[in-house]
């Protein structure tokens, strides 16, 4: 962990983003990190039929090919999401394709599902299959695929023996046409095929659908309606945004094409999370993603309706020490309120978030 919280972390911030990312991934894979202390029972979460030691997960995009799963889990995460993984290897979009917005604590990426493919990632996960720790596999489609539904079906078949749950990524903005799969009819075509493949597998693996933050409420209504009809196991809210908030300080960098994540995504993604929570009505759990960078923002996701919370961009700016910091803060909040678990606060501010009555500024400035 010291690698990501010391001078090396400062050095990484001076390197080109994709170079720093690769260096960090290699260092994590090589360093003999000690296992973290067992999490306090008050942080435990039950979702998708699984027992999570704490609600914090590493979002997809960091370990695309399953190269540092155990190292990431030793940083204190409750789970990791590997991927996005495509059936066939593909290089993704041309470089440069990853950009930091340091003043805004944001990231723009247009990676385009750079992936070593199903076979490679499956071998990596199979090699550590009996080790502890929950691993989700984020599934995508190849850019040149003639049958994207078949790509997701193939992913379910391939990883059913090693994944603890699947995340069906139909919301990346960097693969042309992919977000069309969020449309009600397209999703109604996709989900039965994915669930049929899951049913044919030797073990039952939960299926979670990951959506974009740039949806209208009518579009969200359609997605929730389909997901409830087919009884999926969960919804992940949200992927990166194509929007560029007016208040961004890094104006020139913000002109880069791609999905924006980090602090600038927080308010939009949390608003959509709350809207989804109110529509789902407890039928399945939610994962809150976007702009989590401290205890206050993690707690806000849970109060808006999230069962689990994922982060990634904040690690770029704050290092891996952020994970134990957030967990410690959550426990302090529970102790102050004399609560035994996070269940008591889940969704309690959903109506406020959905109505636009919450301000993100004070949450990001909280220690």
What amino acid positions are annotated as catalytic residues?
172
CA-CA distances (angstroms) from residue 116 to 62, 63, 178? Answer: 14, 11, 19
CA-CA distances (angstroms) from residue 125 to 25, 42, 110, 246, 265? Answer: 16, 29, 26, 42, 31
CA-CA distances (angstroms) from residue 166 to 39, 110, 198, 227? Answer: 24, 23, 10, 14
Distance CA 155, CA 210 (A): 15
**346: preceding bond cis by omega (within 30 degrees):** no
Distance CA 86, CA 64 (A): 10
Q: Are 166 and 236 in contact (CB under 8 A)?
A: no
Using CB atoms within 10 A of its CB, is residue 324 exposed (0-12), middle (13-18) or buried (19+)? Answer: middle
**241: preceding bond cis by omega (within 30 degrees):** no
Q: 183-193: b or e for each residue (b if 16 or more CB lie within 10 Å)?
A: beebbeebbee
């Amino acid at each position: 962990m010291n690698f990501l919280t010391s001078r090396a972390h400062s050095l990484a911030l001076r390197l080109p983003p994709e170079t720093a990312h690769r260096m960090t991934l290699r260092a994590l894979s090589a360093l003999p990190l000690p296992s973290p202390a067992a999490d306090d029972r008050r942080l435990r979460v039950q979702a998708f039929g699984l027992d999570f030691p704490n609600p914090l997960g590493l979002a997809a995009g960091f370990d695309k090919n399953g190269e540092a799963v155990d190292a990431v889990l030793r940083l204190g995460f409750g789970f990791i999401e590997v991927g996005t993984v495509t059936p066939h290897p593909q290089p993704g979009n041309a470089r440069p394709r990853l950009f930091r917005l340091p003043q805004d604590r944001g990231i723009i990426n247009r990676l385009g599902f750079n992936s070593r493919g199903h076979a490679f990632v499956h071998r990596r996960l199979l090699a550590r299959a009996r080790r502890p720790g929950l691993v989700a596999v984020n599934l995508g489609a190849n850019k040149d695929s003639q049958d994207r539904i078949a790509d997701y079906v193939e992913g379910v078949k391939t990883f059913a023996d090693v994944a603890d749950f699947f995340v069906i990524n139909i919301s990346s903005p960097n693969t042309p046409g992919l977000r069309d799969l969020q449309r009600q009819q397209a999703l109604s075509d996709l989900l039965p095929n994915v669930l049929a493949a899951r049913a044919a597998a030797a073990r039952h693996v939960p299926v979670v659908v990951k959506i974009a933050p740039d949806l209208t409420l009518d579009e969200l209504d359609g997605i929730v309606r389909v997901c409830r009809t087919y009884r999926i196991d969960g919804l992940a809210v949200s992927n990166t945004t194509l929007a560029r908030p007016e208040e961004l300080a890094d104006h020139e960098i913000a002109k880069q094409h791609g999905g924006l994540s980090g602090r600038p995504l927080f308010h939009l993604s949390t608003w959509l999370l709350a809207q989804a929570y109110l529509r789902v009505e407890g039928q399945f759990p939610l994962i809150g993603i976007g702009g989590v960078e401290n205890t206050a923002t993690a707690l806000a996701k849970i109060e808006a309706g999230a069962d689990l919370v994922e982060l990634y961009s904040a690690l770029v700016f704050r290092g891996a020490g952020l994970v134990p910091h957030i967990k410690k803060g959550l426990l302090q909040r529970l102790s102050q309120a004399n609560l035994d678990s996070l269940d008591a606060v889940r969704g309690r501010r959903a109506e406020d978030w959905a109505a636009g009555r919450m301000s993100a500024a004070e949450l990001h400035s909280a220690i």
